[in-house]
Amino acid sequence: GRLPVRHLAGGARAVVDKLIRYATAPEALGTWRNRVVFLADDGDNNIHQRDADQLAEILEANHPDVENEKLYIDAFEQAVLPSGEEVPQLRQRLENIIEEGALIVNFTGHGAESGWTEEKVLESTQIPDWQNQYRMPLFVTATCEFGRYDDPSQLSGAELAVLNPIGGGIALITTTRPVFASTNFLLNRAFYNTIFVPQNGEMPRLGDAMRFTKNNSLNGAINRNFSLLGDPSLRLAYPQYEAILTHLNGLPLSEEGPTLRALDQVEARGQIQAGEGAILSDFQGQVEVLVYDKRQTRQTLGKAAPVMNFEDRTSVLFRGKATVEMVLSPSVFLFLRTLTIASEPVKSVFMPRSKQATVMPMGDLKALR
249 in the same domain as 219: no
Q: pLDDT of 174-229, one tens digit each?
A: 999 989 998 999 999 999 999 999 988 899 999 999 999 999 998 888 888 999 99
Contact between 241 and 361 under an 8 Å Cβ cutoff? The reply is yes
Q: According to the model, what pLDDT value does residue 330 have?
A: 46
Give the domain range for residue 41. Answer: 8-229
Last residue of a domain, one of 229, 262, 288: 229
For the chain, the domain total comes to 2
| Residue 235 domain flag | no
Last residue of a domain, one of 199, 229, 259: 229
CATH number, position 122: 3.40.50.1460
| Residue 236 domain flag | no
314 in the same domain as 255: yes
Q: According to the model, what pLDDT value does residue 1 have?
A: 85
Q: According to the model, what pLDDT value does residue 347 have?
A: 67
215 in the same domain as 260: no
Q: According to the model, what pLDDT value does residue 367 have?
A: 47
Q: According to the model, what pLDDT value does residue 337 have?
A: 40
Q: pLDDT of 62-83, one tens digit each?
A: 998 899 999 999 999 999 988 8
The torsion of the CA quartet 20, 22, 25, 27, rounded to 10 degrees, works out to 160
What phi and psi, each to the nearest 5 degrees, are found at residue 20? -65, -45
CA distance linking residue 28 with residue 358, whole number of Å: 8
Q: According to the model, what pLDDT value does residue 334 have?
A: 44
CATH number, position 314: 2.60.40
Q: pLDDT of 228-280, one tens digit each?
A: 999 999 999 998 777 777 777 778 877 666 666 666 777 777 777 776 667 77
- DSSP, collapsed to helix, strand or coil, labels residue 153 as coil
Banded model confidence at residue 339, pLDDT cuts 50, 70, 90: very low
Residue ranges of alpha helices (H) inside 193-342 are 206-215
Of 50, 292, 12, 61, whose CA–CA distance to 163 is shortest?
12
258 in the same domain as 155: no
175 in the same domain as 70: yes
Cα–Cα distances (Å) from 60 to 32, 63, 69, 70, 142, in that order, read 17, 5, 11, 12, 20
Mean pLDDT of the chain: 85
Question: How much of the chain exceeds pLDDT 90, in percent?
Answer: 59
